[in-house]
Amino acid sequence: MQLEFETVDVFTDRRFGGNPLAVVLNAQGLTAGQMQAIAAEFNLAETTFVLPPQDQSHTAEVRIFTPRAEMPFAGHPNIGTAYVLAKRGSTHGRPIADPLVFEEKAGLVCIDLNRNGAALVGARLKAPQPLTRGEEIAPDIVAAACSIGAGDIETAHHAPCVASCGLPMVFSELKTRSSLAAAQPRSDVFSQHIKGDRATGILLYVRDGSGGIDIQARMFAPLYGVPEDPATGSANVALVGLLASLRPQAELRLDLRIAQGVDMGRPSLLEATAEKAGGRLTGLWIGGRCVPVMRGTVEV
């Protein structure tokens, strides 16, 4: 069987930046094991597989794999897959309509296309699940997992904690940009304390405020075959929700420009939005630009 694929760099406006994604376009007939093997062969943070939708009112069923595991939801795979399908104009014999709706393990993901005039430049998704905040994680565990000191962790706004909009992640604010740059994941500590059934990985962040950037972030998920991710939409859409939930205003729109991947040489820009009404979160979005890179076939 011959499968078509395209790769795209997500959350960037230039090739070889952002987060690369492989999109396998005609994945019907593949087993989960075959999808996992193909994702391991690409060895990118994620690979998506596009299938006909179970409900014909939706755009497609999309399955997402890291090199080691299937994911219920992820940000850059949705943004990149929507961009690739919209550029092609159709999927499985059906035209693409805006907004796109993907069927995923975490639920339905609604994605709007971003255009500059007539040119398609990217996409924006709405989180498929409301923000949930789970357990707190001891600062010394986060510090050990990321090779930094417990004193580098900022707890004035919130303790390190698990939060999710479809994919649980540990969130920890740091005090300085230099401590963020120094962080390195330790798989042995993740294996002992941050296992996959607890959280997918750890997102570290620091407040910035320079050069039009609000947040600098890094994300580590070594147990999923992703030592560091250049851009993590699923984590950052939860982050903007977490930060909005901590603010006292009952009515709020919070827009954040988040830089990620800078320290690994793949600078990414994610644009995140949270809205509150009546003291509760009513919507969370993440979006950015995309650039096509490669296309070809996979022999199965």
Output the six-digit token pair for 120: 């398609």
Asked whether the beta carbons of 276 and 244 are under 8 A apart, the reply is: yes
CA distance 234 to 232: 6
Active site residues: 46
In the chain, % helix, strand, coil (3-state, to 5) comes to 25, 45, 35
CA distance 78 to 95: 18
Residue 178: alpha-carbon gap to chain centroid: 24
Residues near 55 by Cβ (< 8 Å), separated by ≥ 6? 103
Q: Is the dihedral of CA 174, 176, 177, 180 positive or negative?
A: negative
The helices-and-strands tally (H runs, E runs) of the chain is 6, 20
Tell me which H or E stretch contains 103.
Answer: strand 100-104
Tell me which H or E stretch contains 297.
Answer: strand 280-299
| 65: Cα within 13 Å, side-chain hemisphere | 24
Asked whether the beta carbons of 201 and 221 are under 8 A apart, the reply is: yes
The β-bridge partners of 122 are 114, 289
